[in-house]
Structure 1
Amino acid sequence: MPDLTGPVLPAGTLAGRPQPVLPTGDGLVLRPWRAEDAPAVHAAFQDPLIHQWHVRSADSVAEVAGWIEEWTAGWAGERIAQWAVADADTDRLLGRAALREIHLGDGMAEVAYWTTAAARGRGVAARATTALARWALDEIGLHRLELLHATANQASCRVAAKAGFTLEGTKRSALLHVDGWHDMHLHARVRGD
């Protein structure tokens, strides 16, 4: 049975080009991950706030090195695209910004991020998320980006709003964290917002 609509974006939209470096224009840069980032990511994942809002822990630098290999390979598979968020002048790791659950044919992806403890309260997550959304919607041509966070994570709610993501609703008991099931806010930004 033929489809009544064509894909929003064809396969190869991402993999057909190198993963770009995305400057925010205000002191940050989103760049592809490097093997030498593993110690800084491992250190970031020792933070209790990372444990509170994420479902993954990092037991060793070697384990994180494997993650970075997966993150780098994800670009070619066009299902996930991850960037290190770094200080544009010093290259100091400040966090991560990502597109997960990429569906090129549907023109959709989910945005995710985290920041190091030292970067919190400086607008890093909002600035990185804004730059990533601009690139994904305006340059690549995705139609819709979704952003999910635990309803109890008010800092992430502020990030979503600052980055132009509209709150659309609550997904009840949607994600299991170490302390139990969490309701999740669903925010979205669509092309033209």
Structure 2
Amino acid sequence: MLALPNGLELRPWRVSDADALVAAAQEPAIRQWNRLVVTSQTEACKRIERMHERLQNEQSAIWAIARPDGGQAVGLIGWGDIDLNGGSAEILYWILPSGRGRGTMVEATKRVTQWA
């Protein structure tokens, strides 16, 4: 877990965060720039399971931007399409309206860049 300003943190995604993925997939500003197709709780849970599998396989590293102490996820940030041999990855991020306007994504980007 990594602390962020404004009382938020970066932590692994949990099945209990499925609602945030479904909400993000319905948010026009997120859909415009992300390939997030999640239409149900079941699909969201499967996506979260894949996040954990891809982390174990060193293919991605994706965190929830969340309220502390197990609170609600309001965003996502991480590295996708990791190529350890080539030294590259694609940064992935989005934040729900409830998490916007406080510089949270800027700080989250700094944290995951330091992690990499």
**TM band (smaller chain):** 0.7 to 0.9
Q: Helix, strand or coil: the match of 1:78?
A: coil
**Where does residue 45 of structure 1 map in the other structure?**
25
Q: Which has the higher helix share?
A: 2
User: Secondary structure, in 3 states, of the residue corresponding to 1:105?
Assistant: coil
- Let me know the Cα RMSD of the aligned residues: 1.8
Counterpart in 2 of 1:96?
76
Aligned length: 116
Question: Are 2:103 and 1:123 aligned?
Answer: yes
TM-score where L is the length of structure 2:
0.88
| Pair 1:65-2:45 in alignment | yes
Q: 1:28-75: CA deviations, max 9, x gaps?
A: 211111111112221222111112112332211111111001011111
TM-score by length of 1: 0.55
Instruction: Give the letter aligned to residue 29 of structure 1.
Output: E
Matched residue type, 1:108:
S
Identity of paired residues, percent?
38
Q: Which has the higher strand share?
A: 1
Structure 1, gaps ≥5 residues long: 1-20, 137-193
Query: Which protein is bigger by CA-based radius of gyration?
Result: 1
